[in-house]
Structure 1
Amino acid sequence: MLSGIAYFIVQTVILDPLQTEISDRLVRARVPPQIITQVSECTKSSLPALVRRATDDPQWAIVIALDVWLKRKTPEKVVEEAAPSCKPVMDSARSYFAKGTV
């Protein structure tokens, strides 16, 4: 029961806003569809790790949620910090952002 609530909160407050922002930026940057798919799959697959970390360290979860909502960091940076396994995929997407298209 509690894990279901934790999943819902992390997905609603952290993951969904991140995915929306990143997807919008990737589309505007004209990133190839396969990279967009990889980024989306990586962020979705990171949900269990995010929930574990959020339940182990609630302060971390609050800081990440604030970073997302207040846009204190770029979405790709937040994803890398929250899910380090997504770094290679985010690096490939970042190369399009660096071209000045976003």
Structure 2
Amino acid sequence: MIAEFIASLFALFVVDPVQAKIEGRLAAVQAPIEIVSQARACLGTTGPILIERATGDVWWAGATIVKIATGLTGPAELLDAGNPACAPVATYLTAAEAEA
């Protein structure tokens, strides 16, 4: 019961906003369709992993919510670098932010 509540809060305050920010940034920099489709694949696999971690580590979940809300952690930092779909997206976002 508590784990489900934490998962819901984490999805509401972290996963959904991160997904929206990433999609918004990719749209703003007019990313190629390949990067956009990789971003969707990445978020589809990374979101559940983040939620699982949040339910197992409440302190990490709380700290991550605060960091995302205050801007101390960027969306690209939560992407799984080991996921083949996430690496190009994180690289693209980091490069796009550096140019801006």
TM-score of Structure 1 vs Structure 2, range by shorter chain? 0.7 to 0.9
With structure 2 as the length reference, what TM-score do the two structures score? 0.77
Alignment of 1:13-92 (within 5 A): 13-77=13-77, 79-80=78-79, 83-86=80-83, 87-92=86-91
Alpha-carbon distance in structure 2 between the residues aligned to 1:52 and 1:34: 28
Alpha-carbon distance in structure 2 between the residues aligned to 1:47 and 1:34: 20
- CA RMSD in angstroms comes to 2.3
Q: Which runs of 5+ in 2 are unaligned?
A: none
Q: Which moved more, 1:3-12 or 1:66-75?
A: 3-12
| Secondary structure of 2:82's aligned partner | helix
* Kept after mapping to 2: 8 A contact 1:14/1:65: yes
Summarize deviations over 1:18-71 as a string: whole Å, max 9, x none: 011111111111110221121122112222211221122111111111111111
1:12 is matched with 12
Q: Identity of aligned pairs, percent? A: 20
Q: Which runs of 5+ in 1 are unaligned?
A: none
With structure 1 as the length reference, what TM-score do the two structures score? 0.76
Q: Which moved more, 1:45-54 or 1:90-99?
A: 90-99
Specify which structure has the higher proportion of helix. Answer: 1
* Kept after mapping to 1: 8 A contact 2:67/2:73: yes
1:97 is matched with 96
Structure 2 letter corresponding to 1:55: T
